[in-house]
Structure formats: structure tokens, C-alpha cells
Amino acid sequence: MDFVKVNVSNEKAQPEVQQSQPAKKRKKGFLDKLVKPLDYLLKALIYATIFAFPLVFTVQTYDILALPKQTFLGIAVLSCLAIWLIKILISRDFKMRRTPLDLPILIFGAIYLITSLVSISPIKSILGSYGRIDGSFLTVLFFIILYYLVVNNFRSKKEITGMILAVIISTLLVAILSFMQIFGIYILPSEVTKIKTFNPIGTLNALAVFIMAVIPITTALALRKKNESRLSFAGISLLFFILLIIINVRSAWLGLFAASIVLVVMPLLEKKTDKKWLILPAMIGLLSLALVFVTSPTTSNLPKETVLDYQNSIEQVKQAIKERPVFGSGPETYAYDFSKFRSAEMNNQENWSLRFDRAYSGILTSGATLGILGTVAYLLLIVISVITGIFNFRKATDEDTKYITLGATAVVTAVGVMSFFYFANFALMMVMWLSLALIGTARKSQEAAADDVEDINLNKASLEAKVFSTVFFVLLFCGSIYGIYYSGKVFAADITYRKALEKTDKVENLKEAEQLLTKAIKQNGNQEAYRLSLSRVLLVEANLENQKKEGEKDVKKIQDYLSQAIEQGKQAVNTNPNSVSNWEGMIIVYRNAALYATGAVDWIEKSYLEALKLEPTNPVLVNGLGQVYLTKNEVDKAAEYFNRALSLKSDYADPHYNLGLVYADKKEYDKSISEFETYLRFVPDSTEAKTQIETVKKLQANPNATTTSDDGLKGQPPATTGTSTSSQSSTTNN
């Protein structure tokens, strides 16, 4: 690596003889004395961030894993950035270290920003979807900032080793806790955590790929000849490997096998390698390859994560790339791609009612959401990092630097391979970005550390440069402070949201739940889940008011509840109009409003049509639109949609019930009875269907008999239930 030192100054260079004269030292003021303590504080905070990050979770928020991790990362990284900026402003000396990965990282970050800005939902791409924020631009930005904080503030071997030990010790604690959870030893106090699959990383698959990413680091450190702790690192590697055997995730084995190739081949090319110790990575690699094809008996009692299958993912990604080839639909918007391009054949699968927000793997998800440009930028970052790591390993003369670089290169290789078979999570991304930093800062020799910078001395810069740099650093500092404030607000909003949902269990607490949800929306108005929840609470309050006796019923209060519920639903849709879930929320609101108000059916129709534009193969939505036309007495059109729902899913019960109503209205009584009887085969305890059969038989015997009709939409499902059976996957990796 070439090292450049630039001194921006208007002064002419002094003769060499004058340099030997003792310089007159400027007396240090109070602010100057703060530089060293700020440096210690900055490094201590980075150490703490790296150590604590994998362990962070809280049961105080509704999202107990992803949001706490992002909030912690954001506040910690922005605090470190603020401290660094203060140190620069006080010392008037800005040292920026250049690395071989600067260009690919900045290109990747720039493309990620562009894809977020041109996304079908920019807010979601920048801030993240609820419960799924590890792929947002904000998260990527935090990791890029962390990369440069590490690169520019960790220079000595001791500092870098301390950072690596923080990762290993934290992972060791995660592994021990996960062992205990899997075997039913629950030490955490909250009831939420008292299940076998709980761990601070996410799902068991997420835990497996995180552990996979740390094994190359501990294994590489065990290969050092002149180190007394190599047995300890080898033991930690084997402990992590045993945990992987218990969980047994194919994508983790594939990534670890790729890492093992790097850990074996690269040292073999070195003359001074202790080759007998290469049996450790070789054994790990061979066992990993074998376990790709073997089912471990230890996993039989552990639940499997539900992910979108490969074939459906391929077809959906192809369609998504065809629609938006360059920049994709935007980060964290795969739910949109899934809904729009899901095939009708999926309705015949066991998990037909799930709405997935990720494809089969990270690369496939990137193809749809980041487009060709974003996916290529990611792959280039991986490839360039691995090549740089190999080059730095060959050139390094210090053993510790050499094997730290080896471990980091193996980590990036493992993550790159794994991304073709699974997707990343917060903790895994932390290990990967730290590995990139280790590769980027690897040096030929320890003595070169002091020269690995561009030094801009602001004291000697021109007046214009001083003003510009000062304004820039102050604005960046203010942005960091606002980012910390905003992260805290978002976190507080989710705490409020959880409290609100806990209050919805009892009718007498609904008013308090309404107030808490209103507060959560004020704290974070970009979260449509909060608005939809408030809308449903207001609907329940309207229903309760309507159930009162005539003398006690307050019609105005009912109307107020309904209008507020509709307004909150509209606000949710406006936040993200390309979300099927938001339109389903509006459908629920309007279906309930139809119980009390005329004219709501037209709004229900509009909401169903908008939802079907986004998810045309959803039989639930098709059936619901048929109910709208049945209610409007457009029976032929209703029958068309009910039959279409059955063509999408032949074993779907509700359209049979609704066709029974259609045929009864058309006085085709035998067909009507047949449809109701078919419905009973799916729902044998349905009193409604049995009652309808009796009614149709009476009409058949006496055509002049009359029947009564319920308020709201006709047919199944009734207005007081939801219309959607689709939801995001119940198992996530965050």
C-alpha cells in the first residue's frame, strides 16, 4: 500500500538546517488537553459498541431485536462521530487514512442511496420496514461510518487485537446463552425469552450464519505460531462449530466451507506456516461440506424457519428485474415484489397465506430490490475485498497482522458465499464491516502505521479552507446530534406502542390504548403499523358504543370514532401506498363502517381494487371484491369474482358460501344448496351455512317467502373480521 502525507499550508518549506533547531512549543490550553481524553473516550465507545451489539435486545419494545439493535448502533456510531469531530475541531488537525476499499465502499453506498431515493417507497427504503430494518439505507450508512471510525482511529496492533477480542467474547456469550436456551435452561427473566429458539441474534438460521462468520476469525488466530493462546482460540472455534451442528443450517455450512478453503490454501502458500495446525481449518471445512448433505438428529426438536422457496424466488426476481432493471424496487421493498409477482400456484402450498418480505437469499433479494446495479456493486465490494485481503496477507511481515488479515478475508468470503443461500442480519453485518476495516487497514509492516494517513493541518490552511472545513464539521456534528435525537424518538415510540397493545386486552383500557397509540404516532409518524392499530382500536370503540341501548347510545361519538379510524387508515396508506397490508387495513375500516353508514361500500370497492393491483393472485382479496358486488346486487359480477377466487385456490371455503347466496338470489336453489353443502365440508360447524340451507329450502318450497339481510357486506367473511389471511413471514432473521 502507498502511504501519502499531505500538509495543506501556505508557508514555504524551511531549509533542512532549520528543522534541527528546537521548535518553540505552543502552550497547551484547556481545549488542547481534551484531545487525548476524547481519543480514549472514542475508542472505549467503539469497543463497547462492538462488544454489546450482538447482545442487544429489549422486551420493552414491540420489535424486541431489530429496532433495539439499529437504535443502539445509530446512537453509538453517531456519538462516536460527534466525539471524533469535536477532537478534529479542537486539534485543528484532520487525519484521514486512505484504504484500497474506499472506492468500492463509496460506490456501493452511493448506489444504495440512489436506489433508496428512487424506490417505490423511499421512506421504507431509507428508514426500513417495521421489524425489517437491517437492509435500510440508514443501517448501511451507520456501518459505513463505523468502518471509517475504525479505520481512522485504530492503528496499533494492540488496539486492533482488542477490537477482535470484543467480537469473540461477545459471540462466546451469545453462543453460551443459545446453548442454554436450546436445552431449556432459561436464565432471562422475561416470559418472551422462555422458548428454545430465542437468542439475541434472531432466528436459529440467523444465529447460525452469525456464528459461521466468527469461526474464521478464531481459527485464523489459532494458526499463529508465536502465540500462547492458540489453543484457546482453537477451543472456541470447536465450541462454535458444535453449536452449528446442533442448529444445522445448510447456508452456514456452505459459507464456512468457503472460508475454510481460504484458511487452508493461503497459509499453504507461505513458507513459514506451521502446517500441522492447518488440520483445524481443514477438518472444519471437510465436516462443513459433509454436513451440507446430512441432516443432524439434534435439529429434530427445533422449529424450522419458513422462507420463500428457491423456484418462486427466481420467478419473482426475474419479473421484478424486468420491471425495474437498473435500481430495483428499493431496499426493504421485497414485500411489494412478492405480492405483485407471486404465482397463483402458491395458493396450493401449505404456507399460501404468508406474505414474504425477502426472497430465498440475500443475492436474489438484492436483484429485486437493488436492481442489477446495486447487486453488482455489492458483489464487486466482496470480490475486491477478498483480493485485497489476499494481497495484504502475502505482503504482511508481522505475524499478527498477517493472520488477522487472513481471518478477515475468510469472513468476507464466507458472507459472500452465504448470501447466495440465505440473507444477512444485523450482527452478521457488524462482523463483515469490521472485517472490511481490518482488510482495508492491513499494512506491510507495523512501522508503516504512522504514515498511513493524509494529514490536513487546519492551522496552516488558507482562510477559505479554514472556514469551509469548520462549517462542514459543525454541520456534520449537528447532523450527528439530530440523528441521535431521532433514533431515541423512534425507540421511545415503539416502547409506547407496546404499552398500547398491552392495554387492548381489556375493554376498560381501550381509551388508554387509544391515547398511547396517538402518542406513539406523534413520536414516529412514519410508522403505518401504529396508525392501523389506532384505527382498529377506534373501530372497536365504535362497535362498543353501538352495542349500548338506544337511550344510552351516542350516535355522534360513533361517527367521530369512524371518521378518526378512516383518517388514520388513509394516513397509513399515504405513508406507503404500495403496501397491500395498508390497503387491507383500509378495507377492514370500511367494512366495519358499512355497518353504520351508507356509501361505505363504494370505498370498500376502491380499496379492494387498489389492493388487487398490488397482489392480483390473492384469492382472499378477489373473494372480498365479489362480496362488494353481491352487496350492490350485481350478482353476475359477484359470481364472476367468486369463481375467480376458486380458480386461484380450489379448496378455499368462503367463495362456496358466497356462491350459495348468488344462486339463491337467482332462484337457482339446487345449486345454492350444493354450494352451501360444499362449504360445510370445509367448515362443518358453521351454523350460518346450515341456517342458509334451511332458508333456501323454505324459499324452494314457498317462492313468495321473504328473507332478512344483515347490515354491511353480504357473505363470508363477515364485516367484523379481517379480510386478509396474508401476513409477513412469522419467522424473521433479525
pLDDT confidence bin for 12, thresholds 50/70/90: very low
Question: Which is nearest to 347 in space by CA: 585, 723, 644, 628?
Answer: 644
Residues 306-362: tens digit of each pLDDT: 899 999 999 999 999 999 999 999 999 999 999 999 999 999 988 898 999 999 999
Q: How far is CA 681 from CA 476, 651, 657, 695, in A?
A: 66, 10, 11, 19
**pLDDT (tens digit per residue) in 120-175:** 999 999 998 887 888 999 999 999 999 999 999 988 888 999 999 999 999 999 99
pLDDT at 304: 81
pLDDT in tens, 228-277: 788 999 999 999 999 999 999 999 999 999 999 999 999 988 877 778 88
Q: Could you give the CA distance from residue 609 to residue 612 in angstroms, rounded to a whole number?
A: 5
Give yes or no for a contact between 41 and 80, defined as CB atoms under 8 angstroms apart. no
Q: 681 — alpha (psi -120 to 50), left (phi > 0) or beta?
A: alpha
Q: Where are the beta strands (DSSP E) in 319-431?
A: 354-355
pLDDT of residue 723: 34
The total number of residues written for the chain in this structure: 734
Q: Tens digit of pLDDT for each residue in 479-494?
A: 889 999 999 999 999 9
DSSP state of 27: P
Q: Which distant-in-sequence residues (6+ apart) come within 8 Å of 546 by Cβ?
A: 553, 558, 595, 596
Cα angle 280, 285, 288; round to 5: 125
The CA–CA distances, whole Å, from 352 to 100, 210, 598, 665 equal 47, 29, 34, 32
Q: Report which of 516, 132, 140, 510 is spatially closest to residue 334, judged by C-alpha positions.
A: 132
Share of the chain above pLDDT 70, in %: 87
Quote the mean pLDDT of the chain.
Answer: 87
* The three cell numbers locating residue 163: 477490537
Bridge partners, residue 93, by sequence: 457
Angle at 342 between CA 341 and CA 345, to 5 degrees: 135
Dihedral over alpha carbons 655, 660, 664, 666 (to 10 degrees): 50
Which residue is listed with cell 361505505?
A: 600
CA distance 327 to 368: 9
Which pTM was predicted?
0.89
Q: Average the pLDDT over each of 94-103, 326-335, 418-427 and give the range with the smallest value.
A: 94-103
Cα–Cα distance for residue pair 540/529, rounded to 1 Å? 17
Give yes or no for residue 89 having a pLDDT over 90: no
Q: pLDDT digit string (tens) for 441-489?
A: 875 434 444 455 555 555 565 666 667 777 877 888 898 899 999 999 9
pLDDT at 465: 62
pLDDT surpassing 70 at residue 51: yes
Measured CA to CA in angstroms, residue 240 lies from 121, 187, 245, 597 at distances of 39, 20, 9, 61
